[in-house]
Amino acid sequence: MTCLDFENRVQELLDLRQTELPGELSAHATHCAECHKLWGHLQQLQHSVAAWQTWSPTVTLADAVLQRLPVDFETTANRQIVTTRPACSPLSGFVVLLASAATLLIALGIGWRISSNATYANRQPSAAALAANHLVSVTALAPAADRQLDVLLHGARDAYAALASQAWQEVSTTNVLLPPTDSAAPFSGDDPAASVPETLSRPLAPYGRELRDTVDSWLLQVFQNQDSST
Amino acid sequence: MSVDVSELELVQGCLAGKVACQRQFVEQFEGMIFGLCLRMLGRRHDAEDVAQEVFLRAFRNLHRWDQERPLRPWLLTIAANRCRTHLEERGRRPTPTDLQADWLPERRRPGGRDDAEEIQQALATLRPDYQQCFVLFYQQELSVQEVAEVLDCPEGTVKTWLHRARKEMAEYLRKRDIDQD
């Protein structure tokens, strides 16, 4: 048995209000000076506590308490009256529910608007839309010569580049996982149409098919217009 | 622990506003409550004030008492909480040293030692939760389980507090003996 075991078991005995050491503990205390001393101190404490706990002070509280009691009850009663809420009408619950729902909807609307403004705070008129309008206006000219065809093709390439640039901006804004090196606009330059790649880079890949289909359909429309005009 | 039928009738009488029942209620438990407060607070004047507060709170909340459970631990819980609050408030105020343990002078022996005084002084050196445990276990003679119910904490915690309280008090008494020798 260790000294820690001895102390723990002695404390357990005292928890059960036992004051005699069993044989095993007694044997340990006989051979261990520290534990013997500890047991002596605890016994002294028990002895002192016996005198302390039997002393009962005399006091008469009934008069003082009963004297304060009516005042105390009156105060409590008044407090209860003050804090008592008026009875609710049957419709009040429904009105509260309706108001809560309206508040929630307004909050959601405000939150959505703030979120929308934050995402597209710097959004400018769509370059793709401008290019598309330009393409439509050029197409409406109904070109009849090769020079006009070159103008149309140039417009189509501009539109392609603008669409690609626009798609890139949207991807950069929404995809926070893009590495910093990818954040540079791939179509920047004086002549965006000149830098349109044959295949789109990785972040734009999901948009590539859609972009090509769109531009191809515009080009087809341009050629059809040219054919019909010539 | 079963509920004493007379206690139940006494409580019902108090709730009905019968002054005789209220007086009997106070007289029946004032020794227990005052004893706890006095040993916890160490000053007779404070103990009387707090004991009165305990009874006023008990009357105010008597309708909340669970009649399936005994009344004594319920009252001791209120008293323990009030004493703890008072000790915390006292900790924020300056303590007049001349009022320490003012309930003990009549028991002092000139040139001698009084066991109750020694214990009370040793008790004052403990943490409030150790004090509560010690007083409830020894003075109120509650079991560890009952102390845990009154203090609303696990039995293991009560045992730990009680063990530490015993050890610290035994050490305090040992040092006092060395100083006096």
Write down all domains in chain B, each with its CATH number in brackets: 1-103 (1.10.1740.10), 107-181 (1.10.10.10)
DSSP result, B16-48: TT-HHHHHHHHHHHHHHHHHHHHHHH--HHHHH
Interface test with A, best of B139, B141, B147 (most A CBs within 10 A): B139
Interface test with B, best of A48, A63, A68 (most B CBs within 10 A): A48
Q: What is the mean pLDDT of chain A?
A: 67
Of A14, A53, A56, the CB nearest to B31: A56
Q: How far is B121 from chain A (nearest CA, A)?
A: 11
Is B151 within 8 Å of B133 (Cβ atoms)?
A: yes
Per-residue pLDDT reduced to its tens digit, A142-182: 445 556 666 666 766 776 677 767 666 665 555 444 444 44
Would you state the torsion angle of the CA atoms of residues A164, A165, A166, A170, taken in this order, to the nearest 10 degrees?
Answer: 100
| Cα separation, A135 vs A175, whole angstroms | 30
- Is the confidence at residue B52, as pLDDT, over 80? yes
User: Per mean pLDDT, which of B16-30, B84-98, B113-127 is the most reliable?
Assistant: B16-30
Residue B4: left (phi > 0), alpha (psi -120 to 50), or beta?
A: beta
Q: Which two tokens stand for residue B74?
A: 């319920």
Report the range of poorest mean pLDDT among A188-192, A211-215, B60-64, B116-120.
A188-192
- The confidence band for B161, taking pLDDT boundaries of 50, 70 and 90, is very high
Q: How far is A181 from chain B (nearest CA, A)?
A: 59
- Is the confidence at residue A225, as pLDDT, over 60? yes
Which positions in chain B touch A15 (Cβ < 8 Å)? Answer: 144, 159, 162
Is A173 within 8 Å of A142 (Cβ atoms)?
A: no
Q: Is A32 on the interface with B (CB under 8 A)?
A: no
Q: Which two tokens stand for residue A145?
A: 């010569």
pLDDT > 90 fraction of chain B, expressed in percent and rounded: 31
- The confidence band for B79, taking pLDDT boundaries of 50, 70 and 90, is very high
Residues 120-149 of chain B with CB under 8 A from chain A are 120, 138-139, 141, 144
Is B78 within 8 Å of B136 (Cβ atoms)?
A: no
| Cα separation, A212 vs A205, whole angstroms | 11
More confident residue, A151 or A198: A151
DSSP symbol at A198? S
Q: Is A45 on the interface with B (CB under 8 A)?
A: yes
- The confidence band for A34, taking pLDDT boundaries of 50, 70 and 90, is confident
Do residue A55 and residue B107 have CB atoms under 8 angstroms apart? yes
User: Per mean pLDDT, which of A48-62, A152-166, B73-87, B100-114 is the most reliable?
Assistant: B73-87
Mean pLDDT of the region B163-180: 82
- Is the confidence at residue A205, as pLDDT, over 60? no
Q: Is B119 on the interface with A (CB under 8 A)?
A: yes
- Is the confidence at residue A136, as pLDDT, over 50? yes
Residue of B nearest to A8 (CA): B163
More confident residue, B84 or A224: B84
Residue of B nearest to A45 (CA): B170
Mean pLDDT of the region A192-218: 59
CA distances to A45, A67, A168, B174 from A48, in Å: 5, 38, 86, 12
Place of tokens 């309708």: B63
Is B57 within 8 Å of B75 (Cβ atoms)?
A: no
- Is the confidence at residue A97, as pLDDT, over 80? no
- Is the confidence at residue A229, as pLDDT, over 60? no
Q: How far is A121 from chain B (nearest CA, A)?
A: 55
Q: What pLDDT does residue A133 have?
A: 64
Is B114 within 8 Å of B174 (Cβ atoms)?
A: no
Q: Which two tokens stand for residue B90?
A: 């006292």
- The confidence band for B76, taking pLDDT boundaries of 50, 70 and 90, is very high
Report the range of poorest mean pLDDT among A109-123, A150-164, A185-199.
A185-199
Do residue B115 and residue A76 have CB atoms under 8 angstroms apart? no
Interface test with A, best of B32, B55, B141 (most A CBs within 10 A): B55
Exposure string over A212-228, b if 16+ CB within 10 A, otherwise e: eebbeebbeebeebbee
Q: What pLDDT does residue A79 have?
A: 46
More confident residue, B57 or A149: B57
Of B30, B31, B159, the CB nearest to A15: B159
Q: What pLDDT does residue A42 have?
A: 87
Interface test with B, best of A41, A46, A78 (most B CBs within 10 A): A41
Q: Which two tokens stand for residue A222?
A: 């341009």
State CA B13 to chain mean position distance: 26
Q: What pLDDT does residue A108 have?
A: 76
Residue of B nearest to A15 (CA): B144
| Cα separation, B159 vs A126, whole angstroms | 75
- The confidence band for A115, taking pLDDT boundaries of 50, 70 and 90, is low
Per-residue pLDDT reduced to its tens digit, A62-95: 888 888 877 655 555 444 433 334 445 556 667 7
pLDDT > 90 fraction of chain A, expressed in percent and rounded: 0
Do residue B34 and residue A57 have CB atoms under 8 angstroms apart? yes
Mean pLDDT of the region B73-82: 92
Report the range of poorest mean pLDDT among A86-90, A139-143, B106-110, B175-179.
B106-110
